[in-house]
């Protein structure tokens, strides 16, 4: 096996005999699992957008991408179909780069426009305190502060997930689909 993204100098390994295992199985398997996870996440997140390709028109125009009726379906296709192609390792670098840019903009958006400090208005907090069937007991506990703690958790999760997926797409754009990708196994070429 040649041309691995990372090489294992056997002289630097604690157990030199494991070098072949790392080169022939561990690294290709781990890189494939990573590529499938990144691509698969894009497919899962892109599915609702493919089902309603014009649903994001206002959102993308608010970010400065005009006309939204072009960008919204383009980004849906990039995320869904590009994610599938990344997962199987086809045209990995250009699609990962394009998705990385999209995900970096998403990351910027989460930092620039946080969810806010409260989920409930004053009237909502009064309704919560009044009881009734509108809120479950668990819902009352989560929203007792007006939803501040809940929204902080959602905000942190959105930021961390966007950071991870942006970095993951960036690694795939830099290093390609890996040894067990269609790019290498079938096409014998990579960008």
What is the average pLDDT score of the chain? 87
Answer whether residue 118 shows pLDDT above 70. no
Q: What CA–CA distance (Å, rounded) separates 89 from 80?
A: 14
| Six-digit token string for 116 | 């806010």
Answer whether residue 159 shows pLDDT above 70. yes
Number of residues assigned to the chain? 191
- Per the CB < 8 A criterion, the answer to whether 76 and 56 are in contact is yes
pLDDT given at position 37: 97
Predicted TM-score of the model (pTM): 0.80
**pLDDT over 90 for what percent of the chain?**
53
pLDDT given at position 115: 79
Q: What CA–CA distance (Å, rounded) separates 191 from 176?
A: 8
Residue 16 CB partners (closer than 8 Å, separation 6+): 10
């Amino acid at each position: 096996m040649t041309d691995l993204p990372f090489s294992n100098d056997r002289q630097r390994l604690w157990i030199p005999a494991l070098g072949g295992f790392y080169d022939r199985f561990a690294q290709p398997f781990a890189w494939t699992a990573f590529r499938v996870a990144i691509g698969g996440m894009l497919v899962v997140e892109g599915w609702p957008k493919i089902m309603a390709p014009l649903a994001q028109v206002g959102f993308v125009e608010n970010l400065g991408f005009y006309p939204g009726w072009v960008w919204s379906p383009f980004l849906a296709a990039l995320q869904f179909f590009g994610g599938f192609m990344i997962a199987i390792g086809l045209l990995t670098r250009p699609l990962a780069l394009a998705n990385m840019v999209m995900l970096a903009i998403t990351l910027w958006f989460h930092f620039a426009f946080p969810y806010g400090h409260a989920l409930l208005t004053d009237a909502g907090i009064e309704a919560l305190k009044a009881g009734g069937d509108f809120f479950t007991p668990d819902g009352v506990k989560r929203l007792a502060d007006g939803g501040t703690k809940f929204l902080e958790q959602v905000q942190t999760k959105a930021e961390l997930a966007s950071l991870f997926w942006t970095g993951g797409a960036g690694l795939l754009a830099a290093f390609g689909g890996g040894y067990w990708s269609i790019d290498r196994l079938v096409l014998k070429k990579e960008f």
